[in-house]
């Protein structure tokens, strides 16, 4: 029988699941982290886990969303005003540096983790996650377009290009580590010059 929790206990347990889950996932990966490890780390029965999450993948995804929210906040602190091609290139490069300095995000986008998350999570949850990227960036993009500094390209397309640029940063080995930085700068410059009027 699953023990009931007060709302305060639920809040505390959920917070601990995030903290301990992040540590365990970083150490062992999503696949090798067991339900037993997660529940033991926070001091609850395995059956109690399902009061909070339907699966460990759902917990992982929630932690990932928190990490991404913190990253977005850090990146947005680097926005220069007025925005121009050079400032946008710098923003893209700062985004990559921020992602590369976050081990959890790096692990999350390894193919095996992504495949496991995609298999276990409802499709609408993943769609909402992608839409949130657009919703977060759209006000800025529209502002720059209204000011006349940015070309009138669909915000969805710009957000997808931004996301693609950042995801490429997680494939240094495939690109070639010695050429990675100059290749990234070339792509950032090309994207910035395409989107911003001089």
Residue 72's nearest CA partner among 17, 127, 28, 133 is 133
The fold of 55-195 is Tetracycline Repressor; domain 2 (1.10.357)
pLDDT > 60? residue 52: yes
Domain ranges across the chain:
1-52, 55-195
Q: Mean pLDDT throughout 118-126?
A: 83
Say if residue 121's pLDDT is above 80: yes
Q: Is the pTM of this model over 0.95?
A: no
- Which CATH architecture is the domain 1-52 placed in? Orthogonal Bundle (1.10)
Q: 111: pLDDT confidence band, cut at 50, 70 and 90?
A: low
Which pLDDT does position 21 carry in this prediction?
96
């Amino acid at each position: 029988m699953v023990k009931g929790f007060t709302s305060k206990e639920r809040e505390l347990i959920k917070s601990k699941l995030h903290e301990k889950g992040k540590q365990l996932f970083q150490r062992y990966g999503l696949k090798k982290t067991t339900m037993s490890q997660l529940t033991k780390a926070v001091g609850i029965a395995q059956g109690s886990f399902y009061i909070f999450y339907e699966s460990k993948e759902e917990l992982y995804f929630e932690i990932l969303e928190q990490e991404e929210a913190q990253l977005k906040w850090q990146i947005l602190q680097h926005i220069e005003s007025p925005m121009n091609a050079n400032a946008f290139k710098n923003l893209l490069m700062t985004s990559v540096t921020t992602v590369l300095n976050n081990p959890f995000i790096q692990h999350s986008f390894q193919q095996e983790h992504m495949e496991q998350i995609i298999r276990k999570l409802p499709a609408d949850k993943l769609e909402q996650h992608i839409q949130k990227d657009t919703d977060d960036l759209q006000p800025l993009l529209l502002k720059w377009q209204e000011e006349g500094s940015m070309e009138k390209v669909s915000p969805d397309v710009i957000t997808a290009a931004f996301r693609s640029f950042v995801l490429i940063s997680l494939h240094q080995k495939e690109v070639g580590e010695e050429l990675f930085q100059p290749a990234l700068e070339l792509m950032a410059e090309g994207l910035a010059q395409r989107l911003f009027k001089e």
